[in-house]
């Protein structure tokens, strides 16, 4: 019989939780898209207007680029402050 360490049990259960969460999220998004497309198509929309929250999905790349740009600027500023703080103490 193999003894299982405490951290191995935690890693096993966290992996199981993460995999269940990802599967649930994927099923939820698929169900949301399916129901949203069905409702909008039945209400008379056509083409790309059938996609639920069409404006959000078309603007999402722009939101992402702004976020990455802000992260890059803040990381450069943080590195400059850390460098300045370390050299001022000498």
Q: What is the pLDDT at residue 19? A: 87
**89 pLDDT tier (thresholds 50, 70, 90):** very low
Our CA angle for 49, 28, 68, nearest 5°, is: 75
Structure token digits, residue 44: 């008379």
Quote the pLDDT of residue 83: 58
Q: What is the pLDDT of residues 8-59, one digit of tens each?
A: 556 666 778 888 899 999 999 999 999 999 999 999 988 888 988 888 888 8
Helical H segments across the chain, by residue range: 6-42, 54-88
Which tokens hold the place of 85?
A: 């703080």
Handedness of CA 69, 71, 76, 80 (dihedral sign): positive
Phi, psi at residue 29, to the nearest 5°? -65, -40
Domain layout of the chain by residue ranges: 1-52, 53-90
pTM flag (> 0.85): no
Taken as a whole, the chain contains a residue count of: 90
């Amino acid at each position: 019989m193999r003894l299982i360490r405490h951290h191995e049990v935690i890693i096993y259960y966290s992996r199981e939780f993460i995999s269940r969460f990802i599967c649930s999220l994927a099923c939820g998004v698929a169900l949301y898209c399916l129901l949203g497309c069905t409702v909008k198509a039945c209400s008379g929309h056509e083409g790309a207007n059938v996609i639920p929250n069409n404006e959000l999905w078309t603007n999402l790349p722009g939101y992402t680029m702004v976020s990455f740009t802000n992260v890059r600027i803040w990381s450069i500023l943080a590195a400059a402050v850390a460098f300045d703080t370390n050299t001022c103490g000498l």
